[in-house]
């Protein structure tokens, strides 16, 4: 199993728009071979959002990232986030 976590820090007042954009990216991944699940989490006590995608393996994730056509954000991404995203990746052992 392979898990990709994308941590986003939306600007104040942009949390809903950012989470909708992240969910739209998850929808764009639907049907990709090896995708098990996607969802968005909100960290308790902060404005951090986490986009989670769970894959059969790293190869499925890599292939999907080459093939996916993400929808454009509803407004320029620089206006939605206050900092660049942080990506963390994990594999089952």
Nearest to 46 by CA among 4, 82, 84: 82
pLDDT score at 70: 86
Higher-confidence position of 42 and 73: 42
Is pLDDT above 90 for 51? yes
Read off φ and ψ for residue 3, nearest 5 degrees: -125, 130
Q: What CATH architecture applies to the domain 2-91?
A: 2-Layer Sandwich (3.30)
Is pLDDT above 90 for 32? yes
What DSSP character marks residue 10?
B
Model's pTM, two decimal places? 0.92
**Percent share of the chain, pLDDT over 90:** 89
pLDDT score at 73: 84
């Amino acid at each position: 199993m392979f898990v990709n976590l994308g941590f986003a820090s939306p600007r104040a007042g942009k949390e809903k728009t950012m989470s909708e954009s992240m969910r739209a990216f998850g929808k764009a991944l639907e049907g990709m071979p090896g995708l098990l699940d996607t969802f968005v989490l909100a960290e308790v006590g902060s404005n951090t959002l986490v986009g989670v995608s769970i894959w059969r393996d790293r190869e499925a994730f890599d292939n999907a990232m080459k093939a996916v056509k993400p929808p454009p954000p509803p407004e320029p991404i620089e206006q939605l986030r206050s900092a660049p995203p942080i990506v963390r990746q994990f594999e089952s052992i």
